[in-house]
Amino acid sequence: MTGRISRAAAALLLAAALLCPARAETLPYQDGIYEDLAPGYGGEVIITVTVRGGRIVSLDAKNRNGGESEYFFKARDGLAQAIIAAQGIEGVEAVSGATGTSTSILEAMGFLLKQLYYTGTAR
């Protein structure tokens, strides 16, 4: 039996591994309200992210020129829900029918989250 793991021990190890979370619950984001700008389909997009308890709790996007269309709102609302659920942009895809605006929002969020992760600040 030396050098081998018994079936019971293997089952116990597997059960323990399944009970462990896949990632840490604490995220590296510092609490605060952060903004960034990104070039958008109809002008610059202002992204505002609120972090509370180390988690992204809200995301808003506005067209700096005020030229928001139904596609803009579709992208903003769809991405906000997805980014908050994912706690970042990893795995979040552009909203169909609003690809240009989605790409702008995702790029700005990516830059903003990198700043928050590495420095705890954003502009």
Is residue 7, in this structure, part of any structural domain at all? no
Is residue 2, in this structure, part of any structural domain at all? no
Is residue 93, in this structure, part of any structural domain at all? yes
Least trusted range by pLDDT, from 5-9, 10-14, 77-81, 92-96: 10-14
Q: What CATH number should be reported for the domain holding residue 73? A: 3.90.1010.20
Residue 86's pLDDT band (cuts 50, 70, 90) = very high
Q: Which amino acid is at 113?
A: L
pLDDT in tens, 15-51: 444 444 444 444 568 888 998 888 877 778 888 999 9
- Dihedral sign, Cα of residue 39, residue 60, residue 88, residue 101: negative
Is residue 59, in this structure, part of any structural domain at all? yes
Measured in whole angstroms, the distance separating CA 72 from the mean position of its chain's CA atoms is 18
- CA dist 31 and 56 (Å) reads 9
Is residue 6, in this structure, part of any structural domain at all? no
**Predicted pLDDT at 26:** 47
pTM across the whole model: 0.68
Could you tell me the residue range of the domain that residue 37 belongs to? Answer: 32-119
